[in-house]
Chains A and B, each alone.
Chain A
Amino acid sequence: MRKLLSSLLLMLAALPAWANLNIFATVPEWGALAREIGGDKVRVYTATTAFQDPHRIEAKPSLLAQARQAQLVVAAGADLEIGWLPLVQRDSGNPAIQGGRPGYFEAAAYVNRLDVPTVLDRAHGDVHAAGNPHTHLDPRNVLKVGEALTARMSELDAANAALYQANFKTFSGKWQAAIKRWEQEAAPLRGVAVLVHHASFAYLDNWLGLKEVGTLEPKPGIEPTSGHLSELLTRQQTMPAKMVLRAAYQQDGPSQWMAGKTGMPAIMLPYTVGGSAEAKDLAGLFDDTVQRLLKGLR
């Protein structure tokens, strides 16, 4: 038995490595960022798609199998993946990706988090103790995370460190120019009042100066109720919102209902890479998000 096992292990060790760094990204945005930095030196597995609610993923067998081989887990952090990732890490038999090891990277640790609760009480819904985890929709955060991720990837794969840094430098240059362009284009959005399905756009609002005046969910993680929606409808008289936003993975029913009652546009935002045909990569994600918002204003 032991002989069999050890010879099996040897055989597997002899398999050719596919890439220098094997990355397991929990969400598409950070998977895309790792690809920008790593280029063809990394193999990135993305655990979820833009059409999956990142809060509600299950510790599927396929995720365990992928985590087993990963050298670096790139997570959103701030408890976004608390329902499945800890289990995947522990059951993967892979010490490299456990919390506190260099092989575990949490994007939320490198940005200023919004909505950090002062009171931790589930009476307020499924609140995240560490603050709002949807940090990537502020492109300035993407840069901060990118810097930290480059350092981490260089640490884990020293042989390609120079390449990762060069790739990030190129990305960063393009990205900074793009931020200026997006900010110019999105100038008319400043101060515009919006309703959102879930608090997934806190960082986007903060960046573009959109004013969030309500969420369709009565509490985070609790589906919109008819009572709460009609309450929002009455509030519309005193505090009118210009549009209602939802992410690609959220049901369109509640925002369509709101749009139908008020005449304001219901806007589907890609939310992450892959959420729309245009959001093919990180730049596409922001291009499309800004365009969709501007279209809602017209």
Chain B
Amino acid sequence: MQKKFAMAALLAASCGAQAADADLAAIRSQIDEMKKSYEQRIAALEQKLAQAEAKSAPAAVAAAPSPLATGTVASPSSAGAANGFNPEVSLILQGQYKNMKNVPERSIGGFVPAGTEGLNNRGFSTDETELVLAANIDPYWRGQAIVAMIDGSAEIEEAWAQSLAIGNGIGLKLGRFRSGIGYLNEQHPHARDFADAPLMYRAMFGDSYTQDGVQLKWLAPTPLFLELGAEFGRGANFPGNDRNKNGTGGGALFAHVGGDVGISNDWRAGISWLKTAAQERESGFMDSNGLAAKGAFSGDSTTWLADFVWKWAPNGNPKYQNFKFQSEYFVRQEKGNLNCSSDDASSTCATALESNYRTRQSGWYAQGVYQFAPEWRAGLRYEQLDSGTRDFGANAANLQVEGFRPKKTSAMVDYSWSEFSRVRLQLAQDKSMPGLTDNQLTVQYIMSLGAHGAHKF
């Protein structure tokens, strides 16, 4: 309506000769507007009448108080208050109860710890509470920040701006973001199908890989989904570390393809490459006498990932029933030097020794989750890692290097009251530590309140 007015006004202003036409247009649009407003009033009256009829019917209506307005609304809210520009806010509440063996320093056998805390949290605990703020910044950018809060610390999990107006399928993200590598990496813990990250992700990144930097994506203009992405940034997170330097500290490349098979099936497959470097990345080792020693790695770390997801839902309607299969594989190569040292005078590393360091390690997981009723889902996950080749050069004599194949099997059932609340029971047999079988029970809840976020595929 306003547009018509504006156009009429413009026309009138620009050319005098067409003034009469402009007048006509203005009159027409006024008539249109009057028509519309009468239509609205009639509709409102009709509804009032219908409601009066409903009320005159015996009882019942009062039994179910309705949160709905009695009239109709004509146009999108005209409130216009500055408040309306407030970002979409949502808060994720998560907590769990866990039964498992008491293992003070949990790590994955045959792999360097990626610095994950809280893994020995037994009994009741509250997970990070995530505060999500998101909004369009202007017609060109959208921004989102996620602050994860727990016990006196608040961590910026994500804080990025995403381009909206570049075009040609190009998307640009700046800031701290979840890397687009793999499949699970971009998903938030609350959107995952199991209570914990797969061993593979814990071994690779601790939980998932975030980058401080720039992400560039390109979506091909083809009916088949084909997306190419490149990232470069600080590369400070495990397997890299902060190296205080100019230029880029790490980068990633990824490609995803996907599509439909018939109306009931969707799939996506991808391949990704992540390169970063570490300087004096310290981790705990055992020396050949079984004493604690420190190993500091300096060098390059390269990770390859392959991912595949298949989703099925009858008629493509996932509400009542659906099945999801996903699997990922990774292989990581690290090349550089290892400096072995120890505070213990009797250790073989008492005098620091620098040696070559070369590893090639891999792992995979596969999982299936079946939603058999609108509220219920059940899932199974199997995972296995391979400590692979670990060549410590001259330090091989000083440090214990043993091969190991960590394994874990998990089963879960979850119940969702609505899209916004879920409770989950998970049983797992964890054989990721040498000589130990840990049977774990987890009961977890995930609640999201506030704005209705959209989830990735």
Contacts and interface: CB of A to CB of B under 8 A. Distances in A.
Interface stretch (B328-336, B362-370, B447-455): B447-455
A122 B222 CA distance: 40
Interface in B251-277: 256-260, 263, 266-268
A100 B139 contact: yes
A184 interface: no
Those 5 A-B pairs whose CB atoms lie nearest each other, nearest first: A61-B258, A61-B225, A93-B169, A87-B454, A51-B315
A211 B454 CA distance: 34
A127 B67 contact: yes
B226 to A, nearest CB: 8
Interface in B27-74: 39-40, 43-44, 46-47, 50, 53-54, 57-60, 63-64, 67-69, 72-74
Contact of B259 (A48, A51, A62, A193): A62
Contacts of B169: 68, 92-94
B53 A82 contact: no
Most buried by B among A53, A65, A69, A100: A65
B185 to A, nearest CB: 16
B143 to A, nearest CB: 12
Given A90-B162, A122-B449, A112 B317 contact: no
Nearest to A15: B221
Interface in A97-120: 98-101, 109, 112-119
Given A100-B139, A114-B72, A60 B217 contact: no
Interface string B223-238: 1111100000000000
A223 interface: yes
Given A82-B454, A221-B419, A62 B319 contact: no
B164 interface: yes
A274 to B, nearest CB: 11
A213 B317 CA distance: 28
A93 B167 contact: yes
B434 interface: no
Nearest to A51: B315
B166 A49 contact: no
26 contacts: A49-B315, A49-B316, A53-B317, A53-B319, A58-B457, A60-B266, A61-B225, A64-B219, A65-B219, A82-B454, A83-B454, A85-B454, A86-B454, A87-B454, A90-B164, A91-B217, A98-B139, A98-B165, A117-B69, A118-B67, A122-B449, A127-B67, A206-B46, A211-B50, A214-B64, A221-B418
Contacts of A114: 47, 72
A124 interface: yes
B455 A58 contact: yes
A211 B256 CA distance: 50
Given A116-B69, A209-B50, A9 B168 contact: yes
B319 to A, nearest CB: 4
Contacts of B54: 211, 213
B217 A93 contact: yes
A25 to B, nearest CB: 16
B318 A58 contact: yes
B69 A95 contact: no
A44 to B, nearest CB: 14
A125 B418 contact: yes
B222 A65 contact: yes
B76 A99 contact: no
Most buried by B among A5, A235, A239: A239
B73 A235 contact: no
Contact of B452 (A64, A79, A213): A79
Interface string A188-206: 0001010000000000001
Contacts of A209: 50
A116 B73 contact: yes
Nearest to A253: B320
A131 B73 contact: yes
Interface in A7-58: 9, 12, 48-49, 51-53, 55-56, 58
Contacts of B167: 93-96
Nearest to B225: A61
B53 A211 contact: yes
A156 interface: no
A130 B452 CA distance: 14
B268 A61 contact: yes
A175 interface: no
A60 B67 contact: no
Contacts of A92: 169, 219
A119 B69 CA distance: 8
A93 B219 contact: yes
B224 A65 contact: yes
B75 interface: yes
Contacts of B60: 213-214, 235, 238-239
A124 B454 contact: no
Interface in B140-177: 142, 162, 164-171
A69 B417 contact: no
B393 interface: no
Given A49-B263, A98-B139, A239 B219 contact: no
B400 interface: no
A165 to B, nearest CB: 15
B218 interface: yes
A49 B457 CA distance: 18
A197 to B, nearest CB: 12
Contact of B225 (A64, A211, A221): A64
Given A62-B260, A98-B164, A117-B68, 10 more contacts: A51-B316, A53-B317, A56-B318, A61-B267, A65-B259, A95-B164, A109-B75, A125-B418, A238-B59, A239-B60
A59 interface: yes
Interface string A245-278: 0000101000000000000000000000000000
Interface in B291-347: 311, 315-320
A43 to B, nearest CB: 11
B192 interface: no
B124 interface: no
B259 A93 contact: no
Given A51-B315, A53-B317, A56-B319, A90 B142 contact: yes
Contact of B43 (A112, A117, A211): A112
A118 B68 contact: yes
B315 A52 contact: yes
Nearest to B453: A83
Contact of B47 (A5, A64, A117, A206): A206
A112 B39 contact: yes
B58 A238 contact: yes
A297 interface: no
Contacts of A87: 454-456
A154 interface: no
